[in-house]
Amino acid sequence: DVKVTQSSRYLVKRTGEKVFLECVQDMDHENMFWYRQDPGLGLRLIYFSYDVKMKEKGDIPEGYSVSREKKERFSLILESASTNQTSMYLCASSFEGLATTEQYFGPGTRLTVT
């Protein structure tokens, strides 16, 4: 079974703090993704990575950065957390491929910035 794990289920941080969210997958997937999910807006892609040290901006990268030093681990960094970054953060991974590749998701991190 594919397993995608996220470092925390719930996190409370203060405005201005630097926040690290970590994601680990155990299936040797090339691709890893960070999404945020907000009511009424659905899932929005923040960043994705298609290889170690490679990254590409998604739809809403502002205020976020990422790091992928090892294939199995993808970190999302909030350099200076703000209240509008309060959200559910979801990590996913997949093989590269065209028609047959599924995305597998972690359990999510509910981040509250006060």
Partner 1 sequence: KQEVTQIPAALSVPEGENLVLNCSFTDSAIYNLQWFRQDPGKGLTSLLLIQSSQREQTSGRLNASLDKSSGRSTLYIAASQPGDSATYLCAVRPVFTGGGNKLTFGTGTQLKVEL
**Residues binding partner 1 (CB under 8 A):** 4, 31, 33, 40-43, 45, 48, 50, 56, 58, 88, 90, 92, 94-108, 110
**The tokens 């200076």 sit on which residue?**
80
Give whichever of 18 and 52 is closer to partner 1, judged by the CB atom: 52
Both tokens of 107, joined, read: 């359990």
Q: d(Cα 13, Cα 79) in Å, to the nearest integer?
A: 12
To the nearest whole angstrom, how small is the minimum distance from the Cβ of residue 105 to partner 1?
4
Q: d(Cα 79, Cα 113) in Å, to the nearest integer?
A: 13
Give whichever of 75 and 94 is closer to partner 1, judged by the CB atom: 94
Q: Contact at 8 Å (CB) between 43 and 103?
A: no
To the nearest whole angstrom, how small is the minimum distance from the Cβ of residue 51 to partner 1?
10
Give whichever of 73 and 110 is closer to partner 1, judged by the CB atom: 110
To the nearest whole angstrom, how small is the minimum distance from the Cβ of residue 114 to partner 1?
19
Quickly list DSSP for 26-46.
SS--SEEEEEEEETTTEEEEE
